[in-house]
Chain A
Amino acid sequence: QVQLQESGPGLVKPSQTLSLTCTVSGGSISSSNYYWSWIRQPAGKGLEWIGRIYTRGSTTYNPSLKSRITISADTSKNQFSLRLSSVTAADTAVYYCARLPMAGLHFDYWGQGTLVTVSS
């Protein structure tokens, strides 16, 4: 059974960089069959896709966030990470990591989510 777990600071100051890590167990992020993705959800609002990484060589980002996002992976630790720069209060949200099978292009396994608050 694949499990994903987000980790990182719960509080980030405005204008700084938000950094989160997703640790995957029960499966390898190096698999050729999957993308790995970040999704966020502000309190009381809907889901927003942030981006995805294919550890064999590509990333795709939400155009509305593209200038501020970097998604990377550390295959030796079976982790992938999100960096979001120049954060504002609008970036306050629960951040989820999820697995994205290439066959079907859906989000089949999700982490429990981690709340990140942007505040001074």
Chain B
Amino acid sequence: QSALTQPASVSGSPGQSSTISCAGTSSDVGGYNYVSWYQQHPGKAPKLLIYEVSNRPSGVSNRFSGSKSGNTASLTISGLQAEDEADYYCSSFTSSSTWVFGGGTKLTVL
């Protein structure tokens, strides 16, 4: 199974919005609404931000939102804050009943 495709890096200024894409295939992202997003700060475990494409767990800021169109999912972070600077990973359930992650995107808040 191939990793989902994410941009290596994105950036934005405080207060602006930034969007991270996650491209897959019809066998993963496009085939199921089981796309999730994770935030990882250096030296820390990943933290769940979004599940089932667009649902936020309790306690996650509403500045984080998810969507999907065809085989590509997206994570949008609005009102960028310094603490949003981190690595972000998407993940999807697959037609083989396995899970696959994206390569990760480093978000820099300028």
Q: Which residues of A contact B (CB under 8 A)?
A: 37, 39, 45-49, 52, 60-64, 96, 104-108, 110-113
Contacts and interface: CB of A to CB of B under 8 A. Distances in A.
A93 to B, nearest CB: 13
A96 B45 contact: yes
Contacts of B97: 60
Interface residues of B, number: 26
Given A62-B1, A64-B1, A108 B48 contact: yes
Point out which of A37, A48, A106 has the most chain B C-beta atoms below 10 A from its C-beta: A106
B98 interface: yes
Contact of B36 (A39, A106, A113): A106
B64 interface: no
A108 B46 contact: no
B99 A49 contact: yes
B28 to A, nearest CB: 11
Given A46-B102, A47-B91, A108-B57, 16 more contacts: A46-B89, A47-B104, A49-B98, A49-B99, A49-B100, A61-B98, A62-B98, A63-B1, A63-B98, A64-B1, A96-B45, A104-B36, A105-B32, A106-B91, A107-B36, A112-B45
A7 to B, nearest CB: 15
Contact of B48 (A47, A60, A61, A107): A107
B109 interface: no
B57 A107 contact: no
Contact of A104 (B3, B47, B52): B52
29 contacts: A37-B99, A39-B101, A46-B103, A47-B38, A47-B46, A47-B89, A49-B91, A49-B98, A49-B100, A49-B101, A62-B98, A63-B96, A63-B98, A104-B36, A104-B52, A105-B32, A105-B34, A105-B36, A105-B93, A106-B36, A106-B48, A106-B51, A106-B52, A107-B46, A108-B51, A110-B45, A110-B47, A112-B45, A113-B45
